[in-house]
């Protein structure tokens, strides 16, 4: 039907489906949803306007979307052991904005990981609302180990007395010490906000520590390892529930996207199964195997490895900088991102194993992928063509949605 009505857009959809199927999707923030999640995203719930919350909407006809949102909330609180959940944020950034709106006032001091050490734009970038509205003080990682410098964190907290401390990163491949963050926050009377956009799927599968018992508010996304629709989520204590809800609606957002919320419910249901637990642990296992293989190929791994789904590495020992490496890998059908290199020049590469694990790849494929990396980085046209053919052969053996 779409081909008949709008062939221009249909061609784009077809092209994107082929791109995803024919190349290695190693962007750490991406994954393949289930067909059930996709079905709900394209359902009649997309037509429903539902400002407000279940039982207190500004529009009529919300009995079914109310039920869907209640299911999503119940599944989120049960899965993560939270007292309250808000599943309306449109994105991870929207969730962080709401957390700040609930706890802070413009001009408040916030301690967060520095952007050049792996912090997110919402952790104080001057180009982002966070850097314009709040006074951010950055903490970082140790120059030798690449691990969070907790002594620096504590010293900065005591000196600046922040209103909130943000624990989270977009390119830190180790587990944060949530208990230590909580202790520092308590010492200086600060709120603790955990930005768990990346690890929350691993938390759901029991493959990463849970920030919920330690943080006042946990901000998360429902895509990435969690394998749901693109969107955000907030988990908090019962004491902060009303403030968090009002910070989402009506303060920072309007009508909830009910098709997305119902899709979140489906993904949260999937994440509560033994199959997802096994999947989350495979994601971590594959990341460790791939990290070790990349190290053996000559890449310099930040922190020396990974505890999570993501890997950050410096390709300069192979004679290329991060942006150049990304371009050459993309030309060979290997899709990933760049990232900042703390205490270094240039940029590194950032990749994750969630999507390829969803496709059914295993540890043998991780070693094969590492070998393709180094071959793709050689500036030889014949080699690039060979790697592209190898990538297609590999991905066609593991199609995202079956044969």
Give the pLDDT of the chain (403 residues) as one tens digit per residue. Answer: 899 999 999 999 999 999 999 999 999 999 999 999 999 999 999 999 999 999 999 999 999 999 999 999 999 999 999 999 999 999 999 999 999 999 999 999 999 999 999 899 999 999 999 999 999 999 999 999 999 999 999 999 999 999 999 999 999 999 999 999 999 999 999 999 999 999 999 999 999 999 999 999 999 999 999 999 999 999 999 999 999 999 999 999 999 999 999 999 999 999 999 999 999 999 999 999 999 999 999 999 999 999 999 999 999 999 999 999 999 999 999 999 999 998 877 799 999 999 999 999 999 999 999 999 999 998 777 788 899 999 999 999 999 997 5
The pLDDT value given to residue 403: 56
Q: Which of 48, 174, 227, 230 does the annotation list as catalytic? A: 230
Q: Which of 75, 174, 224, 388 does the annotation list as catalytic? A: 224
Q: Which of 22, 30, 51, 66 does the annotation list as catalytic? A: 51
**Nearest-CA neighbor of 265 among 48, 20, 77, 10?**
77
Known active-site residue 221: yes
The pLDDT value given to residue 379: 73
Q: Which of 53, 57, 178, 195 does the annotation list as catalytic? A: 195
CA–CA separation, 216 vs 235, rounded Å? 8
Known active-site residue 382: no
Which class for 4: exposed (0-12), middle (13-18), buried (19 or more C-beta within 10 A)?
exposed
Tokens coding 303? 């922190």
CA–CA separation, 306 vs 196, rounded Å? 16
Known active-site residue 49: yes
Known active-site residue 396: no
> Do the bridges between strand 191-195 and strand 164-167 make them parallel or antiparallel, or are there none, so unpaired?
parallel
The pLDDT value given to residue 378: 83
CA–CA separation, 191 vs 100, rounded Å? 10
- Residues with Cβ within 8 Å of 292's Cβ and at least 6 positions away in sequence, in order, are 305
Q: Which of 49, 64, 150, 401 does the annotation list as catalytic? A: 49
> Do the bridges between strand 232-236 and strand 135-139 make them parallel or antiparallel, or are there none, so unpaired?
unpaired
Known active-site residue 51: yes
Question: What is the SS3 assignment for 190?
Answer: coil
**Nearest-CA neighbor of 2 among 42, 34, 29?**
42
Asked whether the beta carbons of 168 and 196 are under 8 A apart, the reply is yes
- With a threshold of 0.85, does the pTM exceed it? yes
Total residue length of the chain? 403
Known active-site residue 230: yes
């Amino acid at each position: 039907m779409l081909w008949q009505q709008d062939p221009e857009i249909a061609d784009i959809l077809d092209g994107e489906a082929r791109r995803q199927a024919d190349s290695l999707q190693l962007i750490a923030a991406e994954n393949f949803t289930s067909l059930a999640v996709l079905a709900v995203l394209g359902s009649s719930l997309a037509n429903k306007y539902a400002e407000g919350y279940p039982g207190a909407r500004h529009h009529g006809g919300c009995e079914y979307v109310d039920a869907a949102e209640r299911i999503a909330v119940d599944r989120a609180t049960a899965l993560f052991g939270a007292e309250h959940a808000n599943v309306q944020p449109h994105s991870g950034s929207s969730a962080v904005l709401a957390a700040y709106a609930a706890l802070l006032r413009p001009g408040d001091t916030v301690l967060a990981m520095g952007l050049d050490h792996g912090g997110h734009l919402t952790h104080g970038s001057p180009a982002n609302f966070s850097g314009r509205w709040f006074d951010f003080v950055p903490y970082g990682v140790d120059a030798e180990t690449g691990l969070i410098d907790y002594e620096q964190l504590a010293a900065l907290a005591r000196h600046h007395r922040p209103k909130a401390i943000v624990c989270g990163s977009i390119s830190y491949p180790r587990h944060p010490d949530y208990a230590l963050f909580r202790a520092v926050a308590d010492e200086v009377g600060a709120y603790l906000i955990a930005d768990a956009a990346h690890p929350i799927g691993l938390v759901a599968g029991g493959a990463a520590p849970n920030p919920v018992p330690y943080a006042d508010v946990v901000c998360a996304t429902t895509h990435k390892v969690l394998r749901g629709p693109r969107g955000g989520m907030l988990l908090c204590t019962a004491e902060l529930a009303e403030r968090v809800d009002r910070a989402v609606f009506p303060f920072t957002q309007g009508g909830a996207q009910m098709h997305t919320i119902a899709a979140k419910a489906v993904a949260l249901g999937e994440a509560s199964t033994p199959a997802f637990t096994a999947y989350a642990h495979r994601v971590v296992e594959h990341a460790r195997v791939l990290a070790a293989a990349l190290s053996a190929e000559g890449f310099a791994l930040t922190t020396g490895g990974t505890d999570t789904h993501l890997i950050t590495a410096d390709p300069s020992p192979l004679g290329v900088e991060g942006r150049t490496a990304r371009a050459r890998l993309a030309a060979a059908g290997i899709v990933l991102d760049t990232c900042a290199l703390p205490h270094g020049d240039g940029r590194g590469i950032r990749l994750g194993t969630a999507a390829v694990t969803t496709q059914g790849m295993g540890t043998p494929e991780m070693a094969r992928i590492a070998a393709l990396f180094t071959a793709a980085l050689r500036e030889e046209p014949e080699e690039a063509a060979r790697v592209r053919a190898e990538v297609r052969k590999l991905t066609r053996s593991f199609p995202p949605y079956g044969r």
